[in-house]
């Protein structure tokens, strides 16, 4: 009985000793990540900290590093053998999606080379690229097999995102790649209506005209 009590007591002492250290590592890790302090992050990881940790805001470490522009830490995390490159945040965002949104072609290439999925259920990296400002990312994702007319949970396509949120040239790029301009989302809106609602009347007219033309293969 005494041995069991002593064992229990030792376990309690261990938990009390370890938990504050883990909490400290968590705070230190994300602070170092935001400051792009590669050495500090390397030391914390060497102590066994999870490279796939999620911040208090629900961001996955690798995606957050890219979002913060902490490239040195992002490279360190990407090279870690335990990294889960397709882990999604609480908002369903992966590192590849964040790189695509930011127009970081260099990181898009690195992530894909590490095995990041170009296609996924729901919102995709191409949706995010279309909402951004760099057409080259759109082209590269499509070259890598991204579905041009991927549907988000509400049925929106990358073309719709480009029409409303991204650089307007993104919509023209997607059209040139063969995106289906006639599709409508769950609210019954097509890409032209997305553009119209965003006050992009010239683009809306262009998309509506494209939708009125017979499309090859459809």
Q: Cβ distance 28 to 52 under 8 Å?
A: no
Kindly tell me if the per-residue pLDDT of 9 is higher than 60.
no
88 and 133 part of one domain: no
Residue 160 is predicted with a pLDDT of: 98
Tens digit of each residue's pLDDT (9 = 90 or more) over 143-189: 999 999 999 999 999 999 999 999 999 999 999 999 999 999 999 99
- Is 109 part of any domain? no
Which CATH number does the domain housing residue 52 bear? 1.25.40.20
Kindly tell me if the per-residue pLDDT of 14 is higher than 50.
no
Mean per-residue pLDDT over the chain, rounded: 90
Q: Cβ distance 138 to 173 under 8 Å?
A: yes
69 and 144 part of one domain: no
Kindly tell me if the per-residue pLDDT of 12 is higher than 90.
no
- Is 57 part of any domain? yes
Three-class secondary structure of residue 187 per DSSP: coil
Question: What are the distances in angstroms from CA 194 to CA 4, 122, 132, 189, 203?
Answer: 68, 19, 16, 7, 10
The whole model's pTM is what? 0.86
Q: Is the dihedral of CA 91, 94, 97, 102 positive or negative?
A: positive
CA dist., res. 101 & res. 149, Å (int) = 17
125 and 217 part of one domain: yes
88 and 137 part of one domain: no
- Is 102 part of any domain? no
81 and 3 part of one domain: yes
Q: Cβ distance 166 to 126 under 8 Å?
A: no
178 and 82 part of one domain: no
Residue 162 tokens read as 């480009």
Tens digit of each residue's pLDDT (9 = 90 or more) over 108-140: 999 999 999 999 999 999 999 999 999 999 999
Q: Is 48 left (phi over 0), alpha (psi -120 to 50) or beta?
A: left
CA dist., res. 82 & res. 42, Å (int) = 14
124 and 197 part of one domain: yes
Query: Looking at 59, 93, 127, which one is the last position of a domain?
Result: 93
122 and 207 part of one domain: yes
Q: Tell me which residue range forms the domain holding 165.
A: 118-218
Tens digit of each residue's pLDDT (9 = 90 or more) over 74-116: 999 999 999 999 999 999 999 999 999 999 999 999 999 999 9
Q: In the chain, how many domains are there? A: 2
84 and 130 part of one domain: no
123 and 161 part of one domain: yes
């Amino acid at each position: 009985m005494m041995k069991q009590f002593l064992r229990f007591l030792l376990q309690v002492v261990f938990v009390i000793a370890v938990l504050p250290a883990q909490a400290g590592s968590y705070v230190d890790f994300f602070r170092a990540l935001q400051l792009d302090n590669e050495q500090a992050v390397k030391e914390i990881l060497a102590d066994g900290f999870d490279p796939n940790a999620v911040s208090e805001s629900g961001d996955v470490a690798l995606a957050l590093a890219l979002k913060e522009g902490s490239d040195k830490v992002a490279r360190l995390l990407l090279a870690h053998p335990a990294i889960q490159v397709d882990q999604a945040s609480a908002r369903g965002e992966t590192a590849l999606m964040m790189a695509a949104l930011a127009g970081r072609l260099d990181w898009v290439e690195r992530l894909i080379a590490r095995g990041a999925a170009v296609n996924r259920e729901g919102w995709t990296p191409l949706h995010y690229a279309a909402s951004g400002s760099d057409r080259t990312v759109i082209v590269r994702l499509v070259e890598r097999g991204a579905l041009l007319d991927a549907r988000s949970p509400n049925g929106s396509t990358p073309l719709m995102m480009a029409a409303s949120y991204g650089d307007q040239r993104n919509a023209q790029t997607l059209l040139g790649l063969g995106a289906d301009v006639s599709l409508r989302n769950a609210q019954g809106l097509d890409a032209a209506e997305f553009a119209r609602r965003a006050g992009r009347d010239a683009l809306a007219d262009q998309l509506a005209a494209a939708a009125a033309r017979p499309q090859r293969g459809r």
